[in-house]
Amino acid sequence: MKAIVNISLKAGVLDSQGKAVHHALDSLCFNGVDDVRIGKQIILKLEETDKAKAMANVTKMCEELLANTVIEDYEIELA
């Protein structure tokens, strides 16, 4: 089973990388971009075959290591 974890900064947390990319896009005349938020994606190949157990394990991984839950949100997709 594969787990895809998408991590992004919580709303209201300053995204300096996103602001820099937004500024660069403006400088390159890419108009119509209102905002840019930068995140990260982690893809895990799991041995677990039970979706409930896999979700519980990946959630624990996110809470303990993968995401800084003070400033980041995460979404998990199992495939």
Helices and strands: H and E segment counts in the chain: 2, 3
Domain boundaries, the chain: 2-78
Q: Which helix (H) or strand (E) holds 58?
A: helix 51-61
Query: Could you say which architecture CATH assigns to the domain 2-78?
Result: 2-Layer Sandwich (3.30)
Question: Looking at residue 10, what is its pLDDT?
Answer: 98
Retrieve residue 4's tokens.
Answer: 């895809």
Taking only the tens place, the pLDDT of each residue in 6-26 is 999 999 999 999 999 999 999
Mean pLDDT for the stretch of residues 51-60: 98
C-alpha–C-alpha distance, residues 5 and 19, integer Å: 23
Question: Looking at residue 22, what is its pLDDT?
Answer: 98
Question: Looking at residue 35, what is its pLDDT?
Answer: 96
Question: Looking at residue 52, what is its pLDDT?
Answer: 98
